[in-house]
Chain A
Amino acid sequence: MSAAETRTARPAISPPDTAPLVEIEGLGRVFDLSKRWLNRVLDGSGKVMLTAVDGVSLSIERGGTYALVGESGSGKSTIAKMVVGLLPPTSGSVHIAGADIWAERGLARQRQLHRRIQMIFQDPYASLNPRWRVGSILAEPIKAFGLAADAAAREARVGELLSLVGLDPRDSAKFPHEFSGGQRQRIAIARALASEPEFIVCDEPTSALDVSVQAQVLNLLRDLQQRLGLTYLFISHNLAVVRHMATRVGVLYLGRLVEEAPARELFAAPKHPYTKMLLDAVPDIGMEGVERPSIAGEIPNPINPPSGCHFHPRCPHVMPQCRTVVPPSYAVGDAKVLCHLYDGTDHAGTARSAP
């Protein structure tokens, strides 16, 4: 593993090591769902806009794992795509190691940035080309970024990557369909590692896997992080998995980051009423026989979200201002919370008494 270790030792580019690797500022994305303008004129329908991500700011420490959680449609994957450079934001910025990935000029600089950021998707089969042998799948980024001197060095690196994710170097001659789901996800991880990235975005990396295989993949991601000093943005709707992986957690609700805190704190003392509701809702093996408070309502329509705080129609602590005023971000200890309960005045008899 000496090769891998020397790679870790690569000096960081511009800012000193203590600065966060990833800085996301006011990130937003609006999708235009309207029909073509001509049809709109003909049937008199207006413009339909969907705000998938709304003013999200967060930063990720080097070697840390930032987890994004939230219900389906809350904007997790949209953020991931903007962070890796697959989808342009409508507002805000993403800096990685000091470079603004959406403002970077020059193809060479952009390619260098993209090499350092990789992504792992939920469905390991859909993301691997079924007609390529595993060896070619892994060699492609090595070739594209000129990371090996010659074919022999490339082949050696492919073998090394396969061993790194717990597969046999001889597996490089096989096709993706010859592997089980968990093994395919290992291949997808090996491919992400092939370009020697510092930062990997994992979008639901184990959601398609069985629990016994999920444990293999989660352990592997943690081992690789320690060995290679990787930084992760980890997306999952499974809170138990997030608790096991994350150093910091952000909770999304209809595109807004409603709470952000160190993982331990978030799970021990959730602050936002939505976070509390989510934690109460998850079925968990540690909780057999627990009677749960029933949860009110479902995630509302993102095209026409509730005014003020998006969560107010489901919130047990709703106050008049929640219906009209978008809550700002309040710092509560190490956490940031978008909730009027934390505006500093005393809302007697409300959730403040809980934690």
Chain B
Amino acid sequence: MTATLSVRNLRVEIPTRHGVLTAIDDLSFDIAPGEVLGVVGESGAGKSITGSAIIGLLDPPGRIAGGEILLGGERIDNLAPPAMRRVRGKRIGMIFQDPLTSLNPLYRVGDQLTQTILTHEKMTARAALDKAERLLVEVGIPAAGARLSSYPHQFSGGMRQRVVIALALAADPELVVADEPTTALDVSVQAQVISLLKRLCKDRGASVMLITHDMGVIAETADRVCVLYAGRLAEIGKVRDVVKHPQHPYTHGLMTAIPSLKGDPDARLEQIPGSMPRLGAIPEGCAFNPRCGFRFERCRAERPAAYPTSRSEASCFLLDAAGAAPPPETAAAARAAGIEVRAGAPTGADA
């Protein structure tokens, strides 16, 4: 089956006065039909830039400098702006953090919905209005018919974000890119909005790329998760595997750093020393190596590829079955942390 979205070796550069920064470096992933892929990472990891590159809305001077983006098997990264505009809205729906960036404050909600529907579908204005009302009912807006003539500011934050979801789904897209769709919302409303988004996309068979820094949201919503670090892929795999058995030392650190509602509340949180490097100062070799407790010689010199493990795929030399072995103490410590060390092991098997 063709992937709904396929990102191949994506490279995004931002020319600045101090030289060209590489914001996304050799990033590849697929989203299968109907799948929810979570994209997580710290602030500045490149989550939003990845999303913008896919929908063809990179802020200049940012540019795609390499790789391909395919939607349903067809390249969309090289489309001319008018063609890309048609893809956006029709085949890809978008949801951003601040609902007010997607809604025009000067137009009634009903008008915005019908406009979007009519741009992408041939039908009468009457039929479009009916569809708009059905969409508002579906996203759980009470008294939807009456609310069609309301302006965005007359809705609460949670309701506005539901209107945005309705807008993103108006043209029945194949893919929805949602960038921090609930970060501006209250905790009690977050869960509502996320489960609504998930349900509606499932009903329609649409795939979702869900960008967030909230691992809790990902854990409960996504099928697979892609962890970014300094614009590069750290780990990608099924949510359960990545949360319970992280294979990249960064993902491992991240999971133990997050306080949870389960487990011992008095246990000390594991902490990763330091912070993510700025784009202009990404270290040689593996970008994570200065903060990594399992670093060995190779990590400073070369860049790891994504290596498969029995569960996820992760960009770490400990997992490279064809690579040199780390010092025995490092290997033992990594194994104790649950990492399937394969480097230097002739069988590649992990006890």
Which B residue's beta carbon lies closest to that of A286? B262
Q: Is the C-beta of B253 less than 8 angstroms from some C-beta in chain A?
A: yes
Contact of A215 with B by CB under 8 A? yes
> What residue of chain A has the Cβ atom nearest to residue B291's Cβ?
A212
> Which B residue's beta carbon lies closest to that of A297?
B188
The answer to whether A284 touches B269, judged by C-beta atoms less than 8 angstroms apart, is: no
Please give the distance in Å from A222's CB to the nearest CB on chain B.
Answer: 8
Closest residue of A by beta carbon distance from B275: A180
Q: Count how many chain B residues have C-beta atoms less than 8 Å from C-beta atoms of the other chain.
A: 44
Known A-B contacts A237-B187, A295-B192; the reply to A285 vs B270 at CB < 8 A is no
- Option from A211, A213, A287 in Cβ contact (under 8 Å) with B219: A287
When C-beta atoms are compared, the residue in chain B nearest to A213 turns out to be B275
Q: Which of A284-343 contact B (CB under 8 A)?
A: 284-290, 292, 294-295, 298-299
Nearest-neighbor residue (CB-CB) of A166 within chain B:
B273
Cβ distance B344 to chain A, nearest Cβ, rounded Å: 29
Q: Is residue A55 contacting chain B, with contact meaning CB distance below 8 A?
A: no
What chain B residues lie within 8 Å of A240 (beta carbons)?
216, 258-261
Which of B214, B220, B269 is within 8 Å of A287, CB to CB? B220
Report the separation of the CA atoms of residues A239 and B261 in the bound assembly, to the nearest whole angstrom: 7
Would you call A285 and B260 a contact (CB within 8 A)?
yes
Q: How far is the CB of B40 from chain A (nearest CB, A)?
A: 9
User: Do residues B257 and A298 form an inter-chain contact, with CB atoms below 8 A?
Assistant: no
B17 to chain A, nearest CB (A): 18
| Interface 0/1 of B221-259, CB less than 8 Å to A | 100000000000000000110010000000001110111
Interface residue A283 (Cβ < 8 Å from any Cβ of B) = yes
At the interface, is chain A mostly helix, strand, loop or mixed?
helix
Interface residues of A in 178-216 (CB under 8 A from B): 180-183, 210-216
With A240-B259, A284-B261, A286-B262 known as contacts, the answer to whether A292 contacts B216 (CB < 8 A) is no
Q: Looking across the interface, which residue of chain B has its beta carbon closest to that of A314?
A: B188
Let me know if B260 and A288 touch, CB within 8 A. no
The closest CB in chain A to the CB of B261 belongs to: A284
A277 near B: Cβ within 8 Å?
yes
B254 and A211 form a contact (CB under 8 A): yes
**Whole-angstrom CA separation of A183 from B269 in the bound complex:** 18
B213: Cβ under 8 A from any A Cβ? yes
Q: How many A-B residue pairs have CB under 8 A?
A: 141
Contact residues of A between 235 and 284, Cβ < 8 Å to B: 237-241, 243-244, 263-264, 267, 277-279, 281-284
Query: For B43, B156, B260, B261, which residue has the most chain A Cβ atoms within 10 angstroms?
Result: B261
Q: A298 to B269, alpha carbons, bound, how many Å?
A: 33
Whether A279 lies near B188 (C-beta < 8 A) is no
Chain B residues with Cβ below 8 Å from A241 are 259
B149 is an interface residue with CB less than 8 A from chain A: no
Judge if A72 is at the interface, Cβ distance under 8 Å.
Answer: yes
Q: Is A71 at the interface (CB under 8 A from chain B)? A: yes
Jot down 10 A-B pairs with beta carbons below 8 A, ordered by A. Answer: A182-B275, A210-B42, A216-B272, A219-B271, A244-B265, A283-B220, A286-B261, A287-B220, A295-B191, A298-B156
Q: Which residues of A contact B (CB under 8 A)?
A: 71-72, 180-183, 210-216, 218-219, 222, 237-241, 243-244, 263-264, 267, 277-279, 281-290, 292, 294-295, 298-299
Given contacts A215-B272, A281-B188, 18 further A-B contacts (CB under 8 A): A71-B186, A181-B275, A182-B275, A210-B213, A213-B275, A215-B271, A216-B272, A218-B259, A219-B268, A219-B269, A239-B187, A243-B259, A244-B259, A244-B269, A286-B262, A287-B261, A294-B191, A295-B191
Listed from nearest, the 5 A-B pairs whose CB atoms lie closest are A286-B262, A283-B216, A215-B257, A288-B219, A210-B42
